[in-house]
Structures are given as C-alpha cells and as structure tokens.
Structure 1
Amino acid sequence: MTSIQQQRAFSLNGFIALLVWLALAGLCASTIVDIAQTQQVAKVWQPIVLGLVLLLSLGGFFVNQPNESRVLVFFGRYVGTVAGAGYHFANPFAAKHPVSLRVHNFNSEKLKVNDARGNPIEIAAVIVWRVTDSAKALLEVENYRGFVAIQSETAIRAVATRFPYDSHDGEVALRSHQDEINAGLQQEVQARLDVAGLEVVDCRLSHLAYAPEIAQAMLRRQQAEAVVAARRQIVEGAVSMVEMGLRRLEEHGIVRLDEERKASMVNNLLVALVADREAQPVINTGNIYS
C-alpha cells in the first residue's frame, strides 16, 4: 500500500475567479439579448452552454477559515490540498473536505493497568495534538479523531506497564519522575500517530493513583517507608552529634572517660536523641550517707 503524500492543489484567488465569472455571466446575458434582437435561433446553444458551464463552476468557490485546509478528491482520486485562510476557487467537480489545523486536546479516561511490578494502578493523561498533513489525516485512517483516542490510550497503557509506580534506589518511576515519563509518553504516542499525519504537541499525566483495592495497603507501606527513612536520618544525626561531643571533651580536656564510661555516655546520648519523647534527666547528687 502506497502512502499518500500531501501536495498543493491548483487553485485561484476566489475574488479574481468571481470577477471572471461575472464577466462571463454578463457575456452570456448580452448574447441572449443579441439573439433575441436578431432572431438568430441557430446561436441559441451558445448562451445555453455558457450558462450551464457558469452554473456548474459555482461549485468551485469555497472559503477556508483560519487554521483550516481543504482536501480535494476528484472521482475517488486525491488531487491536492488547498491551505490558507481566504476565498478560493478550485476544481468545481472535486469534493472538498475541510480539515481543522487547530490544536486539539484529548483527555483520556482513567485506565486501570498493572505497573512494572504488577501493582494495579489508575492512570490518565492529556494529549495535545494537531493535524500537520491533511491528506494523511483524512485519507490514511478512517476517523483521525477516534484514531487519536485509541492510540493514545494504547500508548498510556504501554508506558504504565514499563515503569513502577514508586521509585526505589533512584530508578525511574511514574510518581517521582514526571518529566521523564511525560517525554516517554509523548514519543510513544507520536510514533503511533505518524501514519495519520498528526503531531503531538504535549503530553501530561492528569491522574495517577493506586487502584482502590490496594490503595490502603500501599498507603501504609509508604508511611512505613517514610518512618524508616526519617529514623535513619535521625540515627545518622545522633551518631554524628555523639561523636562530635566525645571529640570536643577530649580536645578540651574537660573530663577523661574510660571505655566503660564512654559506652555509658554514648548509650545515654543516643537514647536521649533518638527517643520519640523528650528525655527525663536524672541528676545524681551523690550519696547522703558518709
């Protein structure tokens, strides 16, 4: 199957063509008057033929709105495209199909798919697209608007199954790497729409969430991961503070501690710094008995 290549159709400025049409119409009218005055019945066919031609040529006039083109099909054969806003005249016997070149939005439905780890998620996206090849958009596919909807949803499913929902160890994930995911989605959709002469202007995820049946379990897992991460940071900070305190005491000679007392001090400081509640200090005042 040979792909249709867009080409420019032969057309004239509609106002110039209209002036020519009016001049021929005037000539037709004057011919009819001359025949009526001279009684030359043999020449009656001339204004009849000219009038029939003028009547049929009216089908060649059309108006293109801004960001609109016309695809001309002459007896089942593509003959060209007329682009540019304004008043035009082209082959009056060709069918003139309008194609909008404006930017369109496609907002997909919420799709339930499995991510790279097999977790069910809900995902949706907004696809911004426009027609760049009117001939392909109209003649290569049955319905280019429906084609955009189906191929976009297929691309969304493909991208969603390629990446996990959450990131672990810095890997690319749907939730944490929006720019990379949007770029990948745009490439995926564009590859599918090239055959129809369509350009993807932008792609953005508009909805992303775990499926309702696992949402609560995943929320608890995220909370647990957040608690573990926070605890890890607290412990690292506490160890640094204890290390700094022991080093300062030794450098300034404030107190000299043996290994057992250092261990006890480290234990007390870590408990005080890492504990969820505020530490309750116990002051040692010595033995009251001598």
Structure 2
Amino acid sequence: MGLVLLGIGSVGVAGGTLTATGLSGAAMQLFTHGTITGLLFLAVGLVYEKAHTRYIPDLGGLAGRMPFVAAAMLIAGLASLGLPGLSGFVSELLVFLGAYRAYDWPTVLAVLGIVLAAGYILWMMERTFFGPPRERFADLTDASLVEAAPLALMVVCIIGVGIYPSLLTDMFDTALEPMVGHQRRLTGNECPRRICNLTFYDLGQAFNLVQDGSGGEASILIGSISVDRFALFFNFLVTGAAALVVLASTEYVKLMPRFRGEYFGPLLFSATGMMLLAAATELITIYVALELTSLPIAALAAFLMSGRSSEAGM
C-alpha cells in the first residue's frame, strides 16, 4: 500500500516533464502485491492446516517435512523484499525510479524499508522452516497435488513477471499514458514539485458549495475528487453512521483491557475512506479510498486480540 501511494504521488518528474514511471510502478505493485500476498496466505494456511498452529516459537524444521510449501513461502518472502528476478523487484524499482525524481529523501527512507522487510522475513523463515526439526511434527506431510496447484500458479506468476516484466508493463503504460497526457494538457507539460497539493482555494470552493446549496460541483486534487450533492449526501450519511457506531460502542469498549482510546482511530479512518469513496472520480482514488476503508475494519475485527478476533482480522 505504501509503495502504491508513493508511486501515485510522484507522477514521475523527469526534467520537468510528466512521465508515467511512478504510476506504472504503482499499477505493477497492485499485481505483485496480490500474487505475493496470496501465495503467503496459501502457504500459511497449509502450515496451519497440518501443524494446527501459527505460533512461530512452536514451529521449526518444517522444511524437511513440507519442502514444497517451504520453497513457495521462501519465494514469496524474497519477492516481497524485492529480490532481482522476481516480480516484487520490478514494481519496487519502477516506483522508486519515478518517486526519486519528485521526492528524493522520502524515497531514500522508503528504500530503507526493504532492509527491515528482509530482516523480519528471513527471521520468520529461519524460525519456521529451518533449524532442528520438532518431534511433534514428525508425521507432517507436504502439500497434496490439489493444494500444490495454486501455489505453483502463484510461483509461476511471480517468477515470470520478474524475468519478463514487459508482459505487464507494456499493458500498464498503454492504459496510463492517457492519464498522464490529460495532466500534460492541464499543466502545459510542466510538472511542479508537487502537482497534487491541496490548496486553501480548493477547500474554499468546496465550502462555498456547501453554503450556497446551488447544486454545483467543485473539483479538487486535479479533478480526482468531486464535491457535489451526491458526495455530500453520502458524506453526511457516513458521518451520521459513524457517530451512531461510536455511541453504540460504549459497552463494547469496556471489554477491552487496554488501548480503549485507540479503538476510535481506525473507526474514523474507515469513515474517512467511505467519504472519500463517495467523492472519487477516477480509479486510483477509488483504490485508495477502498484501502483506507477496509484496512481499519480488519484492524477493528482483531482489536480484542482474542483467538477468534485475531482469526477474523486475518
């Protein structure tokens, strides 16, 4: 999600001319994230199905009993940290190339996140699949043919796109070029340091629309968000629903032993995503709004940190 937003926000500044490098990387990241995460979830599900636990300290030495699952998990982990030759490397490289021309130091900080990803992924692999085998897992079996088929399909996608990325990049460039061309026409092919600044003038337009009730429309963030009667109706509806949820949660919050105040943060973020979704006018904004809506809901589902709530959050 962070890399997608970084690619979208950059809109690639190259010599003052708008390019689609960052957007292409963001689109590629959507695909790679889906395949890599899907492979990770499949592998974790198989481990839990056979070992009946996901608690890392209880695992260890599973590679000898489940070599195919271990190999699939390792490929997914290496792809997520951007190993060359795998699909994650292509998407991350495009995002960083596009973003660095617009935001140099923030991009450098984002690159450091790969180091952190390598640390926790390799730590997880070493403690889960390698090391001395546990006697309690002596009877474990590897994935069956039916279970291995979707794993193999995901692995082929990850390796195939990593070796031959033009399978997707050409298609993405064809789709994204009209968007960049439209922005060139709006800005005269000149790209300021940050083309997506939300100005006080934009906010004033939206505020005046609410005040006069004329039924007009105000667009902000380069037309990606439209404030009209449709958006305002659903924004007021979501605001009212969020207020009712807060009032209805007073007894539920008492069940939480700690972090009661933090419960309302994801709730407000999710409501903000719903309001943004009602005002979105193009696909990238819709994607950001959906993510902003759904991710806090998953966090809320697991907020009690009990066995069932953690399962619901996953």
Q: TM-score, normalised by structure 1?
A: 0.22
Q: TM-score, normalised by structure 2?
A: 0.21
Q: Which has the larger radius of gyration?
A: 1
Relative to total residues, which structure has the larger helix share, 1 or 2?
2
Q: Which has the higher contact order (CA 8 A, sep 6+)?
A: 2
